[in-house]
Amino acid sequence: MARILYLGCSLEGSTALYRAQALRRLGHAVTIADPFLAVDRQLNNRWLNAAHFRTGYRALQWTMHDWVAHICATLGELDTPDIVWVDSGELLGPDCIRLLASTGATTVLYNHDDPSGPRDGQRFATLRNAIPAYDLCVVVRDENIEELRALGASQIMRVDRSYDEVMHAPYASDDEIPDSFRSEVAFIGTWMRNEPRDKLIADLITRGIPVSIWGARWGMSSFWPMLRPHHRGGNLNGRDYVAAMQGSKICIGLLSSGNRDLHTTRTMEIPYAGGLLCAQRTRDHLAMFEEGREAVFWNDADECAHWCRTLLDNTARRETIRVAGMQRVRANGAGNQDICARVVESALQLRASAAMPTREVRTLTPALADVAVES
């Protein structure tokens, strides 16, 4: 098993922490170092955080370099990592990654946002400069492959997002789910500016669909007067999050068009946790689930409302789809342990072939997508 230095957010409820824990469950020796804690004073200040976000964290690079140098200096011979896994990576520039590589480790970037896309402006500017310094870049959308190749990536691996086998495990019995998290139709997620999710939910409410909403910032929506009676609470984490997915008869899955999403972590988490996925129709979703049998998909509010009415009125069909979706997402190998095992395997293969005379650009696809189309 590998020694892994894991640089990512360590806050409870973060998907980065879930991946680190999954690596430990796989038997790897994982040391977690949180780069966000190194600059927490700056990032916990509302105005400084906004400024750093908009300038790609360039002004933090001296601090981050000193932090990385300290980590490298304190590594004992027995602690020297085989792999440095950088999760997200927006805080670490090319000098930081080269310093980490000087330990002899294979450097891996895992980013499940859209680091080469338009939505977040300059947030990932420093990361984009660091792309050539990584041995392996792991992304979750097809567009990122060519874009990271153009930025100088030497090896690129495409995976899908994932659920966590432990944190998102369903309650053993529906009777354990608190009544406060039961609903007819649920949407769990944050309101986003310039995204039509609030309009979609308002349209569903207008059509008589009993939608419950959990998430932050919904009071900023222009549809808030209509949405307010349906808002059940803020962001959910841990077992409350699972309870809301499992406790709903139907879970709406929405995408971020600005993030060029064709699937999200909800795509995997909802059926794994025992919810019924009712999501936008995309090529990713159609590859992952059989439409109408393992999940239901739609193109607009009318079709979404149709599915909600149909399934709320037909308990037997709803339960058949829900159970089939749970089985399919597990068969797809869409868990953190599944994905992390593939990434580590690819990183160790690169490590073993590091003496090759050329570094030909390739796209590594141990691909969940290939598994997902099998029945």
Tens of pLDDT, residues 195-230: 999 999 999 999 999 999 999 999 999 999 999 999
- The three-state secondary structure class of 319 is helix
Residue with tokens 């994982």: 30
Q: Token pair for residue 335?
A: 């868990």
Mean pLDDT over 260-283 rounds to 97
Closest CA to 13 of 216, 279, 185: 216
Would you place residue 163 in the very low, low, confident or very high pLDDT band (cuts 50, 70, 90)?
Answer: very high
Tens of pLDDT, residues 38-76? 999 999 999 999 999 999 999 999 999 999 999 999 887
- Pairing, β 106-110 against β 83-87: parallel
Distance of alpha carbon 51 from alpha carbon 47, whole angstroms: 6
pLDDT of 306 above 50: yes
What percent of the chain is helix, strand and coil (3-state, nearest 5)? 45, 15, 35
Q: Is there a contact between 307 and 298 (Cβ–Cβ < 8 Å)?
A: yes
Distance of alpha carbon 349 from alpha carbon 336, whole angstroms: 20
pTM, two decimals, is 0.91
pLDDT of residue 79: 77
Closest CA to 117 of 86, 140, 94, 91: 140
Closest CA to 364 of 21, 86, 109: 109
What's the Cα-to-Cα distance from 300 to each of 94, 196, 305, 350, rounded to whole Å? 43, 11, 9, 44
Q: Is there a contact between 161 and 18 (Cβ–Cβ < 8 Å)?
A: no
Distance of alpha carbon 341 from alpha carbon 243, whole angstroms: 28
Phi, psi dihedral angles at 212 (to 5 degrees): -110, 140
| CA atoms within a 13 Å half-sphere pointing along the CA-CB vector of 144 | 28
Query: At 7, which amino acid appears?
Result: L
Q: What domains can you pick out in the chain, each with its CATH number?
A: 3-162+335-372 (3.40.50.2000), 174-331 (3.40.50.2000)
pLDDT of residue 258: 86
Query: At 52, which amino acid appears?
Result: H
Query: At 234, which amino acid appears?
Result: G
Q: Is there a contact between 339 and 159 (Cβ–Cβ < 8 Å)?
A: yes
pLDDT of 354 above 90: no
Q: Is there a contact between 116 and 253 (Cβ–Cβ < 8 Å)?
A: no
What average pLDDT is seen over the chain? 93
Distance of alpha carbon 356 from alpha carbon 337, whole angstroms: 29
Percent of the chain with pLDDT over 90: 88
Distance of alpha carbon 201 from alpha carbon 188, whole angstroms: 11
pLDDT of 375 above 60: no
Residue with tokens 């900023």: 220
Residue with tokens 């998907």: 15
Question: How many Cβ atoms from other residues are within 10 Å of residue 291's Cβ?
Answer: 11
- The three-state secondary structure class of 196 is coil
Mean pLDDT over 309-331 rounds to 98
Distance of alpha carbon 217 from alpha carbon 349, whole angstroms: 44
Q: Is there a contact between 186 and 251 (Cβ–Cβ < 8 Å)?
A: yes
Question: How many Cβ atoms from other residues are within 10 Å of residue 278's Cβ?
Answer: 24
Q: Token pair for residue 87?
A: 């999760």
Distance of CA 86 to the CA centre of its chain: 14
pLDDT of residue 222: 97
* Measured torsion, CA atoms of residues 288, 136, 117, 87, in degrees rounded to the nearest 10: 80
